[in-house]
Structure 1
Amino acid sequence: MAENKTICHCHDVDYLTIRMAMVNQNARTVEEIQEITGAGTGCGGCIPDIEAILALVCGCKGTSLQEVLDAVNGDADTVAAVGEQTAAGTDCGRCKILIENVIENKR
């Protein structure tokens, strides 16, 4: 899902808009994405896609948000440390800004 495609057709919300809500507004739940972007408030058919986006931090390595949170709640306090423990952010690097956000907010 790394390419920028429309996720919510009812409200014309794309993948990058959802990811930016995760980074800029700390959205971590479907309800928060709905409030911020409107995605998932129409027919609801996109909710499984929104859940998948929320669950995955690094698409290249398949690293989940929970894996990153576990590392951060352990002793990983930098993007590099999270990468060492989870492999997130060690390929293309597009997820590093989200990893930084997770470290900062611990969520």
Structure 2
Amino acid sequence: MAGNRMICHCKQVDYITIRKAMIEGARTIEEIKEKTGASTSCGRCTEAIEEILASVCGCTGTSLASVVEAVKNGADTVEKVGEITGAGTSCGRCKALIQNVIDIKK
């Protein structure tokens, strides 16, 4: 887990705000811009946001792509996703995001 740190200094958007936007379904830089305002000024934070978007579980290093793949292959609970990917099996902070991936299948 990365902890809370400022990601977009221009718009004062922190890590937790970006993760909350992901839990609400944001999966692209454009969706993060729309929900948070991050990366709408100078753009220096775009790469950091893309790295956050690519990750689900910092404890295990599980990517969003691997969680989505597990869901597409039939994992329909957070526990099943954890069995396949390892995500959500350590501290559990990513469980809400995993559930959102299950709910919206992306």
- The TM-score range, normalised by the shorter chain, is over 0.9
Aligned residue for 1:27, secondary structure, equals coil
Deviation sequence 1:75-100 (CA, Å, 0-9, x none): 10000000000000000000000000
Query: Considering only aligned residues, what root-mean-square deviation do their CA atoms show, in Å?
Result: 0.7
- 2:19 aligned partner: 19
TM-score of the two chains, using structure 2 as the length reference = 0.98
Residue 55 (structure 1) aligned with residue 66 (structure 2): no
Deviation sequence 1:6-54 (CA, Å, 0-9, x none): 0000000000000001112x10000000011110011100000000000
C-alpha distance in 1 between matches for 2:10 and 2:70: 36
C-alpha distance in 2 between matches for 1:41 and 1:28: 16
- 2:34 aligned partner: 35
What runs of 5+ residues in structure 2 fail to find an aligned partner?
A: none
C-alpha distance in 2 between matches for 1:76 and 1:99: 11
- 1:8 aligned partner: 8
Count of aligned positions: 106
What runs of 5+ residues in structure 1 fail to find an aligned partner?
A: none
Counterpart residue type for residue 89 of structure 1: G
Aligned residue for 2:56, secondary structure, equals strand
Correspondence 1:89-104 to 2 at 5 A: 89-104=88-103
C-alpha distance in 2 between matches for 1:94 and 1:84: 16
